[in-house]
Structure 1
Amino acid sequence: MIPHLKEKRIIDSDLLIHLFDQFNQGILIVDLEGRIVSANAMFANLTGYSLSELIGLPFHELQIHKEQIVDCRMPGEKKTKWQGEVQMDRKNGEQRTLWLEIFPVRKNGRVTQFVYLYAQPQTMAYQDSLTRLPNRRCIHDYLNTALATAHDQRQIFAVLYVDLDRFKMVNDTLGHASGDQLLKEAAQRLKSCLRERDMVSRMGGDEFLVLLLDIKGQQEAEEVAKRILASLTNPFFLQDQEVYITASIGISLYPYDGDDRETLITGADAAMYRAKRQGRNLYEWSKPELQAGSFERLILENSLRKAIDQEQLLLHYQPQLDLKSNQILSMEALLRWQHPDLGLIPPGEFIPLAEETGLIQSIGEWVIYSACTQNKAWQNQGLPPVRVAINLSATHLLQKNLPEVVAKILQTTELEPQWLELEITESAIMQDKQTAIQVLDQLKQMGVHLSIDDFGTGYSSLSYLKELPINTLKIDQSFMRDIQENENSRAVTYAIISLAHHLDLSVVAEGVETEQQLDQMREKNCDAIQGFWLSRPVPPEQAEQWMTYTLERGCLE
């Protein structure tokens, strides 16, 4: 990178070129008329012209194939640095790709010359090799320039931190080649949402940074964020499959959310993570007063990485009641985290963090192993055999070796497959229906019981439901909350029960908390219920008491 050129001191062009001869990059100095004032030896080597041929040559005769290059003959008061990839014709007609950066040189606040800095892309440390976007180093330098310009000219600009949601799932299920293809296409969609003077760069992985220069205010930044989210809603075609992704975006605004590079980027990054925690496919604004929470999140993430080894994770169990036999049908295993300092942390606070960091994979396998071990221990005590139900995340469901993982755990714990139930959500299935069906088919053939959890809140399409090798539908508890007052909730609940029975599926109503709700489910021939009316999630010892009671009485009274 060349040194910053100060307004108050203009270096003699020949002296400057002599200095630039020490750089392994091509350098031009062009005047306001568009003529080359000076050039260094490296630029002459890149173009095939001699230095004497270059001096005085109109710049446009070099045949630079890039319409968006700053027109150096235009008034330069508002010009800032420009950079991008260009095609140049050498003297012998050979065309080559170069990376170009343009710097206006000012004297007394007015542009007097332009410095053109060329490098071959493979030797340029400012470009991401996969997406061909500017990289982290480039955007950092560009942001420094934007800060100086915005300060001098009292401009507002925005920094958008964009992270693709569930990108790891694409790599894990379709392979890294498909992941790379998605990143390249996503990069182009991001670029299409911006103006010519804006910049998008790849920060690494599936993260991008967008810089919106000289905007009017918050509304303009929000409009761009909405365009970006909308641009990603169309499917990506990877290996002849439709793949849908979304993005989470954090926005910080100069000078309101910070006046230095790190503060603006950190604020946008923290806002992006809030968007993820609130459901993804959203944008959030930087809130400097909440950035202390970013440190707390880092501490929580580090603690979560140690939670399994330090035996801080535990399972509580909530029973399901068979309404025909009045016996315990299944025990759903629900994850809890007993933090040594923060106490019992509910899953809603750490499961999203586990998904973002990739820890959900190892945590999920621990849950399956622990629940199967516990169930086998209950059976060895002579308790009535019941299924143990486990929720699978989309990451697990779309992992093609999931059946092998489950089979190994069942073999290790010596639990028969029919006593394991795996619950998946509609939304997880629809992320990649073809892979999901393949995985579920293999699990079903093993003898594992399969359920659709939270049914009625997602896609609820008959066209896909009849294709799935499942045993049970679990009606989402949101319908049960107001089933007595809300006619629509009753209608949907009764329709789901009827639909399931016509498809030879059993039905479990979640969230049953009152005697009246229980009676309604019995009246409509619902197969089983789960909820606080029966029991809250309890530790293994209390779950054991439920099964002991059933063994002694034969059924629940």
Structure 2
Amino acid sequence: MNKLLLKRFFLIIIFALCFILNIRIYVNADVVNTDISMNSSKKVLVLHSYSENFKWINNISKGINSVLDNDSEKIDLSYVYMDMKKVKDKSYIDALYNLHKIKYNDIKFDAIICSDNDALNYIIKYGDDLFPNTPIVFCGVNNFDKSLLNGHKNYTGIVETIDIESTIKGIFKLQPNVKNIILVCDSTATGKLNEERAKTITKILKSSANFYFCTDTNIKNLQNILSNLGNNTAILHIGQLKNSDGTFINYEKVGSLLWKNINATNYICWDFPLGQGLLGGKVINSFEQGKIAAEITLRVLNGEKIDTIPIVKEIPSTYTFDFNELAKFKINKKNIPADSIIINKPFSFYEKYKDFVLTMISIISVLLIFIIILAVNINRRRLSEKKLIENYSELSAVYEELTATEEELRAQYDELQQGGEFLRIIEERYKLALEGSNDAIWEWDIEKNKFFASDKWKNIAGYGFNEDGSLKDILENLLSHEDKEPFVNSLLSHLDGTTPFYKCEFKTRDKHGNERWLYIRGKALRNKDGRAFKMAGSISNITLRKIVEEKNKYLAYYDSLTSLPNRTLLMDKLNEALKAASKNSEKGAVFFIDLDNFKRVNDTLGHDYGDKLLQALAIAINNIVETNTTVYRMGGDEFSILMRDADYREDIIKTCNNIIDICKKPFKIDGKQIFSSVSIGVSLYPDDGIDSSLLLKNADTAMYKAKDLGKNRYEFFDKNMFDEVLKKTKIEKGLRDALENNELELYYQPQIDCKTTKIQGIEALLRWKSNDFGFVSPADFIPIAEETSLIIPIGEWIFKTACTQGKEWLDKGYNLGVIAVNVSTVQLQHIDFLNTVKNALEESKLPPELLEIEITESVLMQYLDYNIDILNKLRQLGINVALDDFGTGYSSLSYLRVLPINNLKIDKSFIDSIHSNCKNESVVYGIIELAHKMNLNVVAEGVEWQEQFDILRSMNCERVQGYLFSKPIPADKIEDLNALMTSDNN
């Protein structure tokens, strides 16, 4: 029987092993049936846009070779590298054309593979001449537009579309705390297309982070930008960096340079630079680009018509990351997107030998199953044997039971001997429990009315109990008057059986008079009748816990930075006030206060200065309010005030003026003077509402109205404000689309030389003709652009457009002087302002001395030291700086001496009455004389009458500007005006 079982067992094992091995062989079989039928050698030309040393190109070549080199005797591959990263001007392309014309004059290619945009553009332009009727397969082409192939046949290929959006979202997933993302771009054809796509994507994602574009930048500039942005900054490379000499840095080298010089995560959208210090991203596989292009070429060589092969527009990209970079920046593995590829990962035995491990596990599992089956059979036999043994054991048990009875009697005797020792041990344990516990242990003999407490009570209270005293006497000394009733009620509830345990919290004082919070618990012992005859328990010192609870309660209702009540407490108090107002016909006011330009304090001086400014303002406001008024901090730079019993509007106005007066003097913080102002909105109850949220919303609306009217003022809520808010919202929405819809335009107003009456300067002025609203006044949309920071992209467009127009006039031979551009404080404080100006000059090639920056006194005085530093850097570049609207702001000679300016522009308000008001004439004459002594040129604005011009010319004013000569006009009208004025002078 046993031999038969063993024989069956081994036959089953052999059958299972053979079955598993057959499955593994079937799964791992790689059936390839590729039949390339070519009767003769085929010639294929591979035209690369860049150098063979460029790893992207190298990988594409490897992909091509993996398909076409399998039968090298039948396919003759030729490679040409255009090297367009280094040079791409017209003369170079013409030279390439002439070379290819000679070199391939007698060679007929069966197909041409071209990689990247430059090679495709070259073939589109010259292919019909150089390689007529030759099928063209392209790959690695960015932002492909089908219109490129209009009029061209025999073209197909693979589009290279880098997944910028998925890479940015991958950054957010890997680094949830990232605040800033720098996008590195270049000016190559591919780079410009990638930059345009990136800007479109970042507009959608701008609420998640701040995006900064750096085109044709170098490591040093990147370091400067990164130092200004600080931590929580990532860098996405969608173009190449440059060396200090202006040449591009190869992607293969950029990783090691960034690793040495840039302490930030660096992301990429291509696979070939990985492993060199770049973290990774949603990357395109260059090898796959070449491989697919070669497979398409093979189909063409096998006779398939190229016109029937569709263009491959999407190749799946994959998240790929460098394990070393993930470890360097401590990226949480949970944040890595699913199905990501990790390179440079340490060796894993399981992953490398996965098939082998799974095979062995399968074999072992089968063996275990059969072992279990065998063990079950063996166990059945053992059970039968066990029953026989049990019958024998039952007989033996009778004898053993008799023996055990004798031993049990002897054991009971020994136990009685040990009883005394056990009682002694229990007493020692009780003593240790009393001494080792932090709580005081107490006992109350109810029948004898005696109370006992352990020595730990002295540690808590500093004194002991009189052991002969009754519980009533002890409670008289221990409890305060307000705690006696809940203490006794809780005790009686337990004694009568209502509660299973006794517990109570109460206050007392220790030996030194310090307040202590105690927590007493206990349980009664009862007789057979259920009557309590004894109680015992513990007393804990919970003073620290109560202090923490009070602190948490304080933090829930008070602001930790300013110690003012917070929004939560305001809502509670406002609801109480509204109930009282409804009941007693009371009136009140809700103030909403916002600190103007607070963000710039944080951006320029740091958050420490911002916090201290908020603390100083909170103290100052709290010191001037009346007893019926409470100041609250809402969060950020926003405060609120609740004024109860506000029967007189004059009291509310007085409070607003007092708050505004606080900000008229600068705040002195750590040796720095910080100028600020506040905008205040006021809503009244019950006039403006009886709902707390509505009152706050109305006050907030009034506050924004105060900001729109120039800030540093107060406004009472009016229902008409909702219409203004709606109008402002519509303008803001329209303004966001104005650049893309080409609705913005620059008008130009000439500045006339007083001596020659020729144009010697032009001011660029922004105009907006909306598709929805028609012509929108600059007074309406420019403040909104500044408030929403839309002035940053709009200002960049203004600089580029104005500089390009200036260069165009210069190339035509017009000597029109400087192009003047107005700059707001938002632009001046922006981190990339200098680069914006530099880029505009570099792209347009306008000489710096022909650009003039105009800045008003009010803008300049905000963060004076910082602004002077920026202006000095502009002057170092050769750019002119003019002080605009002089006389309407601070007009202080003390700062005028140190400002790095060339020109002074006198405000129109002084010019209006210069010909009819002697005082104004004297003031203007004094300003001109002062400017000349400081080597400054003077421009007078708003000249509308000949008499005004004659007076200014007699005062030796250099230039004038106004409707006397021309209103702001489009660029094409300037040339006509210049021709007219030149002919008049002649």
Task: Give me the TM-score of the superposition, normalised by structure 2.
Answer: 0.45
Q: Deviations over 1:168-190 (max 9, x none)?
A: 22123223332232223222222
Taking a change above 3 Å as real, the CA distance of residues 499 and 538 of structure 1, as seen in their structure-2 partners, is same
Corresponding residue number in structure 2 for 1:470? 901
SS of corresponding position for 2:693: helix
1:418 aligns with 2:849: yes
Corresponding residue number in structure 1 for 2:789? 358
Q: Deviations over 1:53-96 (max 9, x none)?
A: 2499xxx98699xxxxxxxxxxxxxxxxxxxxxxxxx9658994
Taking a change above 3 Å as real, the CA distance of residues 169 and 529 of structure 1, as seen in their structure-2 partners, is same
Of stretches 299-308 and 437-446 in structure 1, the one that deviates more from structure 2 is 299-308
Query: How far apart are residue 405 of structure 1 and its match?
Result: 2.8
Report the Cα distance in structure 2 between the residues aligned to 1:489 and 1:396, rounded to whole angstroms: 33
Name the amino acid aligned to 2:899.
L
Query: How far apart are residue 438 of structure 1 and its match?
Result: 1.1
Name the amino acid aligned to 1:51.
C
Corresponding residue number in structure 1 for 2:922? 491
Report the Cα distance in structure 2 between the residues aligned to 1:391 and 1:98, rounded to whole angstroms: 57
Query: How far apart are residue 34 of structure 1 and its match?
Result: 9.4
Corresponding residue number in structure 2 for 1:256? 687
Name the amino acid aligned to 2:946.
E
Corresponding residue number in structure 2 for 1:545? 976
Report the Cα distance in structure 2 between the residues aligned to 1:34 and 1:470, rounded to whole angstroms: 78
1:148 aligns with 2:601: no
Verify the 8 A CA contact 1:383 1:548 in the aligned structure 2.
Answer: no
1:214-225 mapped onto 2 (5 Å cutoff)? 214-225=645-656
Q: Deviations over 1:272-328 (max 9, x none)?
A: 222222222111111123323222222222222232233322211111001123221
1:42-53 mapped onto 2 (5 Å cutoff)? 51-53=504-506
CA RMSD of aligned residues (A): 3.0
Verify the 8 A CA contact 1:400 1:439 in the aligned structure 2.
Answer: no
1:226-265 mapped onto 2 (5 Å cutoff)? 226-238=657-669, 240-265=671-696
Count of residue correspondences: 467
Verify the 8 A CA contact 2:752 2:961 in the aligned structure 1.
Answer: yes
SS of corresponding position for 1:53: strand
SS of corresponding position for 2:710: coil
Corresponding residue number in structure 1 for 2:910? 479
Corresponding residue number in structure 2 for 1:291? 722
Of stretches 325-334 and 199-208 in structure 1, the one that deviates more from structure 2 is 199-208
Q: Deviations over 1:155-177 (max 9, x none)?
A: 11101111112222212322333
Verify the 8 A CA contact 1:313 1:336 in the aligned structure 2.
Answer: yes
Taking a change above 3 Å as real, the CA distance of residues 206 and 339 of structure 1, as seen in their structure-2 partners, is farther
Task: Give me the TM-score of the superposition, normalised by structure 1.
Answer: 0.77
Verify the 8 A CA contact 1:161 1:269 in the aligned structure 2.
Answer: yes
Query: How far apart are residue 451 of structure 1 and its match?
Result: 0.5
| Aligned pair partner of 1:171 in 602, 606, 610 | 602
Report the Cα distance in structure 1 between the residues aligned to 2:486 and 2:574, rounded to whole angstroms: 28
Taking a change above 3 Å as real, the CA distance of residues 442 and 283 of structure 1, as seen in their structure-2 partners, is same
Corresponding residue number in structure 2 for 1:375? 806
| Aligned pair partner of 1:397 in 810, 820, 828 | 828
Report the Cα distance in structure 2 between the residues aligned to 1:288 and 1:159, rounded to whole angstroms: 16
Report the Cα distance in structure 1 between the residues aligned to 2:856 and 2:548, rounded to whole angstroms: 49
Corresponding residue number in structure 1 for 2:297? none
SS of corresponding position for 1:379: helix
1:30-429 mapped onto 2 (5 Å cutoff)? 35=482, 51-54=504-507, 96=547, 119-121=552-554, 124=556, 126-238=557-669, 240-399=671-830, 401-429=832-860
Query: How far apart are residue 143 of structure 1 and its match?
Result: 2.0
SS of corresponding position for 2:888: coil
1:432-447 mapped onto 2 (5 Å cutoff)? 432-447=863-878
Taking a change above 3 Å as real, the CA distance of residues 358 and 193 of structure 1, as seen in their structure-2 partners, is farther
Report the Cα distance in structure 1 between the residues aligned to 2:909 and 2:845, rounded to whole angstroms: 37
Corresponding residue number in structure 2 for 1:513? 944
Higher CA-based Rg: 2
Report the Cα distance in structure 1 between the residues aligned to 2:481 and 2:688, rounded to whole angstroms: 39
In structure 2, runs of 5+ residues without a counterpart are: 1-479, 491-502, 518-540
Of stretches 252-261 and 399-408 in structure 1, the one that deviates more from structure 2 is 399-408
Of stretches 216-225 and 171-180 in structure 1, the one that deviates more from structure 2 is 171-180
Verify the 8 A CA contact 1:158 1:253 in the aligned structure 2.
Answer: yes
Taking a change above 3 Å as real, the CA distance of residues 98 and 150 of structure 1, as seen in their structure-2 partners, is farther
Query: How far apart are residue 210 of structure 1 and its match?
Result: 1.4
Name the amino acid aligned to 1:530.
Q
Name the amino acid aligned to 2:504.
L
Report the Cα distance in structure 1 between the residues aligned to 2:504 and 2:545, rounded to whole angstroms: 19
| Aligned pair partner of 1:431 in 819, 843, 862 | 862
Taking a change above 3 Å as real, the CA distance of residues 182 and 322 of structure 1, as seen in their structure-2 partners, is same
Structure with the higher fraction of residues in helix conformation: 2
Corresponding residue number in structure 1 for 2:886? 455
Of stretches 272-281 and 249-258 in structure 1, the one that deviates more from structure 2 is 272-281
Report the Cα distance in structure 1 between the residues aligned to 2:744 and 2:609, rounded to whole angstroms: 34
Query: How far apart are residue 51 of structure 1 and its match?
Result: 3.0
Verify the 8 A CA contact 1:267 1:291 in the aligned structure 2.
Answer: no
Report the Cα distance in structure 1 between the residues aligned to 2:641 and 2:834, rounded to whole angstroms: 41
Report the Cα distance in structure 2 between the residues aligned to 1:129 and 1:52, rounded to whole angstroms: 29
Taking a change above 3 Å as real, the CA distance of residues 289 and 168 of structure 1, as seen in their structure-2 partners, is same
Taking a change above 3 Å as real, the CA distance of residues 254 and 244 of structure 1, as seen in their structure-2 partners, is same
Report the Cα distance in structure 2 between the residues aligned to 1:545 and 1:334, rounded to whole angstroms: 18
Corresponding residue number in structure 1 for 2:955? 524
Query: How far apart are residue 38 of structure 1 and its match?
Result: 6.3
Report the Cα distance in structure 2 between the residues aligned to 1:256 and 1:312, rounded to whole angstroms: 43
Report the Cα distance in structure 1 between the residues aligned to 2:869 and 2:917, rounded to whole angstroms: 38
Structure with the higher fraction of residues in strand conformation: 1
Q: Deviations over 1:357-402 (max 9, x none)?
A: 2333333233222211222232233333531101111233344653
Query: How far apart are residue 127 of structure 1 and its match?
Result: 4.3
Q: Deviations over 1:218-249 (max 9, x none)?
A: 11111111121122223223453211101111
Taking a change above 3 Å as real, the CA distance of residues 133 and 356 of structure 1, as seen in their structure-2 partners, is farther
Q: Deviations over 1:250-286 (max 9, x none)?
A: 1111112222223322322222222222222111111
Verify the 8 A CA contact 2:705 2:721 in the aligned structure 1.
Answer: no
Corresponding residue number in structure 1 for 2:966? 535
SS of corresponding position for 1:162: strand
Taking a change above 3 Å as real, the CA distance of residues 193 and 506 of structure 1, as seen in their structure-2 partners, is same
Taking a change above 3 Å as real, the CA distance of residues 215 and 417 of structure 1, as seen in their structure-2 partners, is same
Report the Cα distance in structure 2 between the residues aligned to 1:378 and 1:146, rounded to whole angstroms: 68
Relative contact order: is structure 1 or structure 2 higher (C-alpha 8 Å, sep ≥ 6)?
A: 1
Verify the 8 A CA contact 2:759 2:816 in the aligned structure 1.
Answer: no
Name the amino acid aligned to 1:314.
E
Report the Cα distance in structure 1 between the residues aligned to 2:716 and 2:755, rounded to whole angstroms: 52
Name the amino acid aligned to 2:968.
P
Query: How far apart are residue 505 of structure 1 and its match?
Result: 0.8
Of stretches 192-201 and 169-178 in structure 1, the one that deviates more from structure 2 is 192-201
